[in-house]
Structure 1
Amino acid sequence: MCCIAALTVHAQSGRFTIKGIIADTAEVGLPEATVMLLLPKDSSLVNFGRTDKQGAFEFKNVKRIPYLLKVSYVGYLPYQQNVKPEDGDVTDLGKLGMKFLNQDLYEVVIKTARAPLSIKGDTVEYDPRAFKVPPGSTVEDLLRRLPGMQVEQDGSLKAQGETVKRVTVDGKRFFGDDVKAATKNLPAEAISKVQVFNDKTEQSRISGVDDGKHEKTLNLELKDSHKKGGFGKASIGAGTDGRVEGKVNYNRFNEKNQFSVIGLGNNTNSGGMSWDDYQDFRGSQSFNWGDDGDFGFGGGRYISFGGDGDEESLTIQAGRGGQNRGFNKNWAGGANYNFDEKKTKFNTSYYYNQTSQDLDANSRRTNFLNNSTFTTLDTNSRRNFNANHRGGLRFEKNLDSLNTLIVLSNVRIGNGSADYGSHQQYFRGNNEVDSLSTMSDVSNYSDFNSFALGNTAIFRHKFRKKGRNFAASVGYNINNSDGDAIQKSANRFYTSSQNEPDSVININQTNTTKSLRNQIKTSVLYIEPLSKKFFLESFYNFSLKTDDVDRDVFDVTESGRELNVNLSRYYKNKTTFNRAGTTLRYSNKGFNVSAGLGAQQIRLNGDFSVNQSDPVKTNITREFFNWTPNVSLNFDLKNNRYLYGGYNVSVQEPNVRDLQPIVDNSNPLFIRVGNPNLVPTLTHSGNLGFNYFNPGSFVQMFFGVYYTKFENQVIYNQTVSENLVTTTMATNISGGNSFSLYGNYGFPIVKTKSNLSINAQYNRNNNPININNVLNETTTDGYNWGLRLDYTPSDKFTVYTNANWNISDTRYSISSGQNQQIVNTNYGAELNYKLPKDIYFNSRFSYNSYVNKRFGFDQSLPILNLSVYKTMLKSKKGEIRLSAFDVFNKNRGISNNAFGNVVSQEQVRTLARYFMLSFTYNMRGVAHSVRRKGYGY
Structure 2
Amino acid sequence: MKYFFLLAGFWLLATGLFAQSPTQPGRFSIQGRVVDTTKAPLPGSSVLLLEPSDSSLVNFTRSGENGAFQFKNIKRKAYLLKITYVGTLPYGQTITPPENNLLDLGAIPLKPISKELFEVVIRTAKAPLSIRGDTIEYNATTFKVPPGSTVEDLLRRLPGVQVDANGNIKAQGQDVKRLTVDGKTFFGSDPKMATKNLQAEAISKVQVFNDQSEKSKLTGVDDGSKQKTMNLELKDEFKKGGFGKVTASGGSAVPAPGAAKGARGEVKANYNKFDAKRQLSLIGLVNNTNQQGMSWDDYQDFRGSNAFNWNDDADFGFSGGFRYWSGEDEDNLGIPIGGDRGRGFSNNAAIGANYNYDTKKNKFSSSYYYSQTRQQLEAKRWQQNFFDGGFLQNDEQSNQINFTGAHRVTLRYERQIDSLQTLVFVNNSRLGVGNSSLSSLTNVLENGINPTSRIIVNNGNRVNSFGTANTLLYRHKFKKKGRSFAASATYQLNTSDGSADLTSDNQFFQSTTVNAFLRQIRQRQLSLTQRSQYKANLQYIEPISKRIFWENFYNFSLRYDELDRDSYNQQESAMTRNDTLSRYYKNNYLYNRLGTGLRYSYKGLNLSVGGAYQQFALDGRYASDESVVPLNRIQRTFSTFVPNVSLNYDLKNNRFLFSSYSMGVQVPSSRDLQPVIDISNPLYISEGNPDLLPALSHNVNVGYNMFNPGSFVNIYGNVYYSYNINQIVYGRNIDPTTGITRTRPENITGGQNAGAYIGGGFPLKKTKATLNMSLSGNLGRSLTPINNVLYQTHNRSISFGPRLELTPGDKLTFYANADWNIGHTRYDLMASQNQRIINNTYGATVTGKLSHEFYLTSNLNYSIYRNPTFGFDQRIPIWNASVYKIMGKSKKAEVRLSAYDMLNRNLGISQNASLNFVSGERVQTLARYFLLSFTYNMRGVSTGNIKQRWF
TM-score, length-scaled by structure 1: 0.96
Separation of aligned partners in 2, 1:631 and 1:789: 39
SS in 1 for 2:88: coil
- What is the aligned partner in structure 2 of residue 342 from structure 1? 360
CA deviation after TM superposition for structure 1 residue 666, in Å: 4.0
Pairing 1:671-820 to 2, within 5 Å after superposition: 671-721=685-735, 722-820=737-835
Preserved CA contact (<8 Å) 2:716 2:759: yes
- What is the aligned partner in structure 1 of residue 556 from structure 2? 542
The residue identity in structure 1 corresponding to 2:581 is L
The residue identity in structure 2 corresponding to 1:117 is L
SS in 2 for 1:849: strand
Separation of aligned partners in 2, 1:333 and 1:285: 19
The residue identity in structure 2 corresponding to 1:310 is E
CA deviation after TM superposition for structure 1 residue 658, in Å: 1.1
Preserved CA contact (<8 Å) 1:492 1:502: no
Match of 1:36 among 45, 48, 61: 48
- What is the aligned partner in structure 2 of residue 479 from structure 1? 494
- What is the aligned partner in structure 1 of residue 387 from structure 2? 369
Preserved CA contact (<8 Å) 2:189 2:309: no
Match of 1:643 among 640, 657, 661: 657
Alpha carbons of structure 1 residues 250 and 267: separation in structure 2 relative to 1, 3 Å: same
The residue identity in structure 2 corresponding to 1:665 is I
The residue identity in structure 1 corresponding to 2:474 is F
Preserved CA contact (<8 Å) 2:220 2:481: no
Match of 2:374 among 356, 371, 386: 356
Preserved CA contact (<8 Å) 1:799 1:829: yes
Alpha carbons of structure 1 residues 798 and 666: separation in structure 2 relative to 1, 3 Å: closer
Separation of aligned partners in 1, 2:739 and 2:836: 26
Separation of aligned partners in 2, 1:723 and 1:865: 46
Separation of aligned partners in 1, 2:124 and 2:474: 46
Segments of 4+ moved more than 4 angstroms:
10-13, 500-504
Deviations along 1:882-902, one digit per CA (max 9) or x if unpaired, are: 000000000010001111111
Range moving further from structure 2, 171-180 or 13-22: 13-22
1:296 corresponds to 2:317: yes
The residue identity in structure 2 corresponding to 1:265 is V
- What is the aligned partner in structure 2 of residue 192 from structure 1? 204
Deviations along 1:753-773, one digit per CA (max 9) or x if unpaired, are: 100001100001111001111
- What is the aligned partner in structure 1 of residue 257 from structure 2? none
1:128 corresponds to 2:143: no
Preserved CA contact (<8 Å) 2:306 2:467: no
1:254 corresponds to 2:275: yes
The residue identity in structure 2 corresponding to 1:543 is S
The residue identity in structure 2 corresponding to 1:649 is M
Range moving further from structure 2, 619-628 or 278-287: 278-287
1:158 corresponds to 2:170: yes
Alpha carbons of structure 1 residues 824 and 490: separation in structure 2 relative to 1, 3 Å: same
Separation of aligned partners in 2, 1:421 and 1:292: 42
Preserved CA contact (<8 Å) 2:422 2:475: yes
Pairing 1:526-565 to 2, within 5 Å after superposition: 526-565=540-579
CA deviation after TM superposition for structure 1 residue 835, in Å: 0.2
Deviations along 1:10-30, one digit per CA (max 9) or x if unpaired, are: 999700101111111122221
- What is the aligned partner in structure 1 of residue 94 from structure 2? 82
CA deviation after TM superposition for structure 1 residue 701, in Å: 0.1
Separation of aligned partners in 2, 1:501 and 1:565: 16
SS in 1 for 2:340: coil
- What is the aligned partner in structure 1 of residue 190 from structure 2? 178
Deviations along 1:79-117, one digit per CA (max 9) or x if unpaired, are: 111000111010111211111012032254164431100
The residue identity in structure 2 corresponding to 1:549 is L
What is the RMSD computed on CA atoms of the aligned residues? 1.8
Alpha carbons of structure 1 residues 847 and 53: separation in structure 2 relative to 1, 3 Å: same
The residue identity in structure 2 corresponding to 1:422 is S
1:308 corresponds to 2:318: no
Separation of aligned partners in 2, 1:621 and 1:303: 17
Pairing 1:914-925 to 2, within 5 Å after superposition: 914-925=929-940
Separation of aligned partners in 2, 1:205 and 1:340: 18
Range moving further from structure 2, 713-722 or 792-801: 713-722
1:620 corresponds to 2:634: yes
Separation of aligned partners in 2, 1:300 and 1:394: 28
Separation of aligned partners in 2, 1:540 and 1:443: 50
Separation of aligned partners in 2, 1:590 and 1:663: 55
1:465 corresponds to 2:483: no
The residue identity in structure 1 corresponding to 2:873 is D
Separation of aligned partners in 2, 1:602 and 1:502: 42
Pairing 1:8-23 to 2, within 5 Å after superposition: 14-23=26-35
1:524 corresponds to 2:566: no
Alpha carbons of structure 1 residues 529 and 223: separation in structure 2 relative to 1, 3 Å: same
Separation of aligned partners in 2, 1:675 and 1:900: 20
Separation of aligned partners in 2, 1:880 and 1:908: 33
Separation of aligned partners in 2, 1:502 and 1:328: 39
Preserved CA contact (<8 Å) 2:306 2:429: no
Preserved CA contact (<8 Å) 2:677 2:688: yes
- What is the aligned partner in structure 2 of residue 6 from structure 1? none
Deviations along 1:558-614, one digit per CA (max 9) or x if unpaired, are: 231000000101111100010010010000011001011011111011110111222
CA deviation after TM superposition for structure 1 residue 684, in Å: 0.7
Preserved CA contact (<8 Å) 1:669 1:725: yes
Preserved CA contact (<8 Å) 2:453 2:738: yes
Separation of aligned partners in 2, 1:805 and 1:670: 34
The residue identity in structure 2 corresponding to 1:245 is E
TM-score, length-scaled by structure 2: 0.95
The residue identity in structure 1 corresponding to 2:440 is S
1:413 corresponds to 2:431: yes
CA deviation after TM superposition for structure 1 residue 344, in Å: 1.0
- What is the aligned partner in structure 2 of residue 4 from structure 1? none
1:426 corresponds to 2:444: yes
CA deviation after TM superposition for structure 1 residue 205, in Å: 3.0
Pairing 1:822-841 to 2, within 5 Å after superposition: 822-841=837-856
Separation of aligned partners in 2, 1:281 and 1:696: 48
SS in 2 for 1:854: helix
CA deviation after TM superposition for structure 1 residue 282, in Å: 3.2
Range moving further from structure 2, 469-478 or 338-347: 338-347
CA deviation after TM superposition for structure 1 residue 279, in Å: 2.3
Preserved CA contact (<8 Å) 1:570 1:612: yes
- What is the aligned partner in structure 2 of residue 378 from structure 1? 396
- What is the aligned partner in structure 2 of residue 658 from structure 1? 672
Alpha carbons of structure 1 residues 731 and 110: separation in structure 2 relative to 1, 3 Å: closer
Match of 2:601 among 587, 590, 597: 587
- What is the aligned partner in structure 1 of residue 407 from structure 2? 389
1:867 corresponds to 2:882: yes
1:46 corresponds to 2:67: no
Preserved CA contact (<8 Å) 2:464 2:497: yes
Alpha carbons of structure 1 residues 457 and 504: separation in structure 2 relative to 1, 3 Å: closer
The residue identity in structure 1 corresponding to 2:163 is V
The residue identity in structure 2 corresponding to 1:140 is E
Range moving further from structure 2, 666-675 or 283-292: 283-292
